Structures are given as C-alpha cells and as structure tokens.
Structure 1
C-alpha cells in the first residue's frame, strides 16, 4: 500500500476554503451596522443594511449608539476602521457561496493581498541578488565560526529581537523576509531548519500575542474597548517575559538534541534537500572583500530602514517594498552586476518565493468567502451570547477560547479588534471584570492559535523552507499545549484580581 503524503500548504488552504464555502450554506447570514469616522468632514457615517446615515461626530452620538469610546479615539486616528455598533445585528437573506465563488476566491484573495505579495516577491529578488554576490555565504561562514560552542546565543538573540518587534509594532508579515536569510545561519550552527523557523516565527508569535505597545492590536483594541492601552500593561509585560522564557527553553533543548544527534531532527529526512535549497555558492572560494562587506551593510540597512519607517514614519507595504527594491539596485551597483544578469537573477529570486505569495493569496481568499457569504458577523453574534451568566474565571477562559476560534475566520489583528471589541468588551461589565480582561483574551486567544492557524502566516513561512505543516505540528504541539495551560491559569487568576 502506497504511503499517504501530507498535503501541501496550498492544498490545505483550498480544502479549508471548500469547508468555509459549505459553512455559508449552514450558518445564517447576518450583519452588524458599522460606524466610521470621516476626518475630512468631521462626521460619522453609520452604514446599515439598507441605508447610510451621516451623524455629527460628538460624544453624544457615541453614547446614543451605546458605544463607550471617547470621541478623541476617532478624531486622533487611533480608531481608523469602521467599528461594529452593538445591538444592531440583523439576520439577512442567505447568501451561500457556490462552486464558482469557491474557485474565484484564490484570485480575489491574491488581488486583496497584492500589497504583501509584492513585498514577498521583491524580497525574493533582493535575496537572489545578495546571494549571487557570495557576500551572504561568506558572512554566514564568519558568523558560524564566531559562535562556535555558543550557538545557543543565536537562538536567544534572534527569538528575543523578533519578539521585541512583535510586541512593539506587530512584526509579523515582515518576518517572511528573514527565513531565507537566517535559516542558513542556523544550519551553519549545526541546528536544523525547524530551530530557525521556531526562533523567527515563534518569536513573532509570542511578541504579537503579548503585545505591549503594538498599535495594530493592543492600542486599537483598548481604544475600541473604551479603555486606556496602559490598563493591564504590566500583566502583558509579565506574560511576554514568561512565554518567551518558556519558548526559549523549549527551542534550546530541541536544538541541543539535534546538535548531538542529527537523526533526532524532525526534518532529518529532508536534511540534504534543505541544505541544497540554501546552499547558493561555495563559501571557501569567496574572498570577503570590502566591496562584499559594503553589499552586506546595504542589505542589513534595508531591514533597519524598514523597521524605522514602520515604527516612526507610519510606513506600510508600499514604502517597505520600495526600500527592498532600492536596496537590490544599490547592491547590484556595488557588486558591479551586469544589467542583464541583474534582471535574470532578480526575477529568479522573486520566482523562488512565488509559492509563498500564492499561499498568502489563497489564505486571504478564505476571508473573502466569509465576507461575501455574510457569516463573519453571525459567528461573532453567537460567540458574544455564549458568556451570559458566567463567573469571572470561566468568563476569562471562555473569552480566550472564543477569540482563538474567531481568529481562524478573522486572522487580522486590527480587523478583529474593531469588529469585536465594541460587541465583546461590554460583556466584561455584566460579569464584573475589567475590560482589559477582554483585550487580553483577544490578544492571547489570537496569539496562541496563530502558532498553528492555517489561515495565518505559518503555512507561508513553512513554504519558504519547504517544511511540511505536519512536521511543524509535531514540533510545536508540546509547547502549544504548555502555553495554553499557562495562559488560561494566568487569565483565570487575573480575572479575580
């Protein structure tokens, strides 16, 4: 009997899209009314099922609509997306999605995710250019020798730095750029690809899960809940440190086992395939000249400039993508790469990440099906009714679980915040806990499920390294379960404080 092979990331997502399409036939259609702020006219726009209404941008308008959010949160731009209006859910005529909607969803998803897809492709081109110079391989060889016997420092540094980016500005999609760059470093340190994936992806996951000043989750969720983002700040700091330490211990222990005995690696059967994937040139023949050092400096500056732009200059995908494109051109000039060779190498590098780009688009297509089928708000409506009459501890646990489940359907942290917080946060008042408990439940629930969420970034991340989802699950499940137990205990205790 032929051994069954675990399906590829693209196939998994298409199966999920098919199941969600079936859900649109089973889950009733419905929608909340929304309220958006127009800064040009200084007015609110209330969008209902059949009509749109212009309202004065006043605190009285918000109070009339049972929205307990200060007006300045809208006028200062802290809340920049339309929010759901509580108590306005209405059932609608069913809008089930058929076969043609299903097969069109990946294309629609690719169009909607064009910004991040172009970022991924341009990064692929940049990596192709830097690899063609030999500078990166020479730099890796130097770093591997410098860390010899102290390779665990690499795990601590990478995981901690990525987590710092996640907790401060939501470092998530940008991590796609780091897999092709850092995986060879971990391989040179005698670890396997799983260790590299874990340091980058889990670092980002824990950072965003325990966001402290992240404007795309903590701040926007707190604003939408009508509380200051500093409420619950020290609790989130504690969670960040605790979860990061747990993850580091787990990764280091696994990494040491692989170093001592490579057959203990979960991807041991792919060892040669992965090594060949990241072996671009023979580092022994590359002389690490000043020209190559300058190329590496420009390469590193691309990421520094990107991070600074996102944090300080409100950059988004257009600016980030342009940064990497300019970086590739500068490296080509520094390395004296001929124009035709530059184009061929850049296109080939972009092509190497085309599969990753398609995965991102197909995952976005799942969200498109739910939006077109009008089932997202229905799921939110029923989720919000589950917590009635609960005690504090159970409420915190159930709310965390609900957000984990909802994140499968709404993987965007900012989207989840503005859609759910006006509905979910008032539930805390009826139970007798602070609204920061709901904000934390939103962060921790989404963050934990993000570890394995196929509609998130994990499948795209694994595709860069050609590692199967089944092997990732085998690695991460013990850590995942440990963090779930720890988080639910912390949430239960904090609900009584």
Structure 2
C-alpha cells in the first residue's frame, strides 16, 4: 500500500506575517544600529527642536537661517502651517549607536512584545473593521444587501467589464488624490457578492479593489500623505512634475484594468480557469452567495436600509478627503449608522444584537491581521536599523550618472517601502537626504518624488507588511495565489515606471 503525498498548502496570512517578522528580527542582528539627528517644530514655543543620535535635545530659533544652517532646503512656512508635522532627518548627521542588548530571552521578549504593541498601535483600524463588520451583519440580516445586489445584477447583464472599469477607476482616483487605502477594507463584503453574481471570482474582486487602491496611491498626484508631504520635505512645490504623474496614473491604472479584465473574462467564460477554484468551494464563501428565490423581494424598508448604509460611505469619503478625518472619526460615522439602523431596520432587539456581534466576529481575523502586520515596523523602529539602511543607500547612489541614479533609486525605494510602510514616514526620513543628491547628479527634484512614489507604491502590491494580506484574508485567498496572479503585472509596471523615469531625466534635466 503506497502512501499518498500530502499536497503542499501555502501558509495563512498570520503565518506569513510571523515568518516576515522573524526574518526582519534576524536581520536586526546583522544590520548596525544608527540614527539621523532630526529637526521638529515646537508650535507652543515657536522654536525648532534638534534631537541628536543620542536623543539629546536642543532648541534653535525657528527661522529660515536655522534650516539653511542644517542644510534642510525647506521653507519655514511648511513647518509653521503644520504641513510638516513629523521630525525631519538632518542631512549628513547619521551616526552609529550602540545596538540594544538582546540575549535569547530578550529576543523572545521582543518577538512577543512587538506583536502586542502592533495590536495596540492598530487599535483604531481594528475597531473600524469590527464596527463595519457589525453594521454589515445587521444590513445582511434585513436581506437588503442581497436583494439590492440582485437588482444590480439585472442591470449588469452583458456589461460586466464596466463593473471593473468603474470601480477600479474610482478607487484609483481616491488613492491618487487622498490616499484611499485601509478604508477599502469596508468594500469587500459589499462588492464581492456583486462580482460573484456577475460571473467572476473572488480574486477578481480583490484585484479590482486592491489594485485600484495600490496603483492609484502609487501614481499619486495630490495625495497629501505621499506626494504633498514628500515634495514639501524635498523643498519643492507638489505641483512640480505633475504632468508626468498624471500620465503615469492614466497608463498604470489603464494597464491594471486591462490585466484584470483579461483574467476576469477568462474566468467568466470558463470558471475552471480561476486561480481560486478550490477556495471558491470553501464553506466560508457561503456568506457571499445569494439565493435568487429567497432574496427576490426588494422592499421599501430594505431600500431605506441600503440608502442609510450608503450614506455612511459618502460621509466617510467626504470626511477623509475634505476634513482630514482618520479612523476614529469614520468609525464614529458607522457607529451612528448602526444606531439609525436600530430604529429603521425593523429587526427584533435580540436579532439586531446577534447580527451585529456575528458580523463583527466574521472580520475579527482580518482585524487581528492588521495589528500583527504592524509589529514588523515596530521591530525596525526599536532596533534602530531603518536609518542605517537609508544611509547605506544614499551613499551607494550619490556618485552615479543621472540615468543610473534614478533607476537604482527606484529600486532603493522599493526596498525601503518593504520595511517602512508609512508613506509620510518614509518621505520625511528620506527626502532631506535624497533630494539634495538630485542637485549633485543634475536632475530635477520632482523626479526624486516620482521615484519615491512609484517605488514605495509598487512594492505594496506584494509586501506582506502592507494591506495585501489583510485584503486576501477578507475572502480567504492564499498569498501564493495572489503572487501567481499579480507577478506579470508587477513586471510590466516596473518596465513602465523605468521608461517614465528615464524619460523624466532626459526631458526635465
């Protein structure tokens, strides 16, 4: 009797993050610790605070002369009006520092502690996810979501491609203009059933939503959390280089749409072509499937429920884009939606509460993934290796010719973006260091902003430390299936970016 070989199963999102965490933690033993001195603005005292590598602080007058003295080519107004609210790295100030001592027990302690700290640091996003899940549980209990989707499917008949084009285009526009990212997690439970009833698979839904957000953010035009803050930190206007960013948005989003539609239509015509055939059979997918006979009616109460629910998203997008809201504020919006639904949904009190708890429970694993992913960044911060990596790469590229410089810089930002997931944090750390190098090699500083945007944005397509694992967890898709789907698009986008960067150098310098 022969034993059948067990089929290899790719690890879950949690395990992938733990593997990355262990890998990064191991790297911190070999990468020297070091820090740049930083400059920040104390609004209360109207002065600059200089913090050196040993964490000693000193005060300096908040004047342009002080910025010039430290070779920070940024207008004083950017600090005083709050545009630059994070400490800015001071060029040529990097110093090695003593590596924090860690024995076996210290390493184990760090491994465990950073996970708890990651959860604590992400609590606002986690609560948002749980509240959204609870609200969706209530909406689903009324039958409004399924009934509404059935009506939409009738309109989509023969026009399924437009579902991808419109949704990806709108999400990409949000990513490019105000950094729509984590907020898209709320879209999956709503949009996945629509894709399924249109004949597509769950991977198509993830591709449409996540690629829209990631490619849109990568090709940022006026995103305040990347292009604007990076341009200010580089000492230029965020409008510098805008034409090339608009062209990049059109080309990269268009490429992502074509790529996704090509896959989606192949699946619609032959479901066996889906990369997630097995995942689609999983019992957990039942939450996304619709019974046409059971959900055939669409009552006025259900229409009102969907209208109230949709209004929450309208208010969320307006608040994020126009009022600078973050997760606390938008969670309050959906908590208010929940209380309104308590009065209008027509559910019994026990059914309402059970639906909310059940809906929140469905997304508990997703919320946990968000917190766990944050722990990787905390290891980098507490081990003081981020600045060392930055210093190494800035020295590496400083003497290259312009074309080679911008090409290598793009890949440098891909690597930095893998470890430093905060776009604004990477901007204020790197721009005062990298932007002056543009002057040395004779290229426009706006091209540095493009290399930063496109590098740290592109790596988000596959970075386990970013949102991709969280997005895949929403629909129970393995990371290996996503890599198999997206790698060709990744290569094509890299080629597009390099062509655009070299064209920028030749035309703008």
TM-score range, shorter chain: over 0.9
Q: Which runs of 5+ in 1 are unaligned?
A: none
Mapping of residues 190-339 of structure 1, within 5 Å: 190-273=199-282, 275-279=285-289, 284-339=294-349
CA RMSD in angstroms, aligned pairs only: 1.2
- Once residues 318 and 480 of structure 2 are traced to their aligned partners in structure 1, the CA distance between those partners, rounded to angstroms, is 36
| TM superposition score normalised by structure 2 | 0.96
Mapping of residues 58-207 of structure 1, within 5 Å: 58-95=63-100, 98-207=107-216
How much has 1:188 moved relative to structure 2?
A: 0.6
- Partner of 1:36, secondary structure, is strand
How much has 1:459 moved relative to structure 2?
A: 0.1
How much has 1:393 moved relative to structure 2?
A: 1.0
How much has 1:474 moved relative to structure 2?
A: 0.7
- Partner of 2:506, secondary structure, is coil
- Once residues 280 and 9 of structure 1 are traced to their aligned partners in structure 2, the CA distance between those partners, rounded to angstroms, is 27
Contact 1:121 1:357 survives alignment (8 Å): yes
How much has 1:266 moved relative to structure 2?
A: 0.4
How much has 1:342 moved relative to structure 2?
A: 1.9
- Once residues 5 and 185 of structure 1 are traced to their aligned partners in structure 2, the CA distance between those partners, rounded to angstroms, is 29
How much has 1:286 moved relative to structure 2?
A: 4.7
- Once residues 307 and 417 of structure 1 are traced to their aligned partners in structure 2, the CA distance between those partners, rounded to angstroms, is 24
1:281–1:351 CA distance, 2 compared to 1 (3 A): farther
Contact 2:275 2:481 survives alignment (8 Å): yes
Q: Which runs of 5+ in 2 are unaligned?
A: none
- Once residues 475 and 164 of structure 2 are traced to their aligned partners in structure 1, the CA distance between those partners, rounded to angstroms, is 18
Mapping of residues 393-472 of structure 1, within 5 Å: 393-472=403-482
How much has 1:283 moved relative to structure 2?
A: 5.7
Deviates more, 1:265-274 or 1:454-463: 265-274
Pick the aligned partner of 1:488 from 475, 480, 498.
498
Contact 1:198 1:251 survives alignment (8 Å): yes
Contact 1:400 1:444 survives alignment (8 Å): yes
| TM superposition score normalised by structure 1 | 0.98
Q: Which residue of 2 aligns with 1:20?
A: 24
1:52 has 2:57 as partner:
yes
1:16–1:57 CA distance, 2 compared to 1 (3 A): same
Pick the aligned partner of 2:386 from 376, 385, 388.
376
How much has 1:54 moved relative to structure 2?
A: 1.5
- Once residues 371 and 270 of structure 1 are traced to their aligned partners in structure 2, the CA distance between those partners, rounded to angstroms, is 37
- Once residues 450 and 312 of structure 2 are traced to their aligned partners in structure 1, the CA distance between those partners, rounded to angstroms, is 33
Contact 2:230 2:424 survives alignment (8 Å): yes
How much has 1:55 moved relative to structure 2?
A: 1.5
Give CA deviations for 1:34-87 in whole Å, capped at 9, x if unaligned: 111122222111112241112211101100111000001111111111111111
How much has 1:279 moved relative to structure 2?
A: 3.0
1:266–1:39 CA distance, 2 compared to 1 (3 A): same
Give CA deviations for 1:156-180 in whole Å, capped at 9, x if unaligned: 0100000010011000010111011
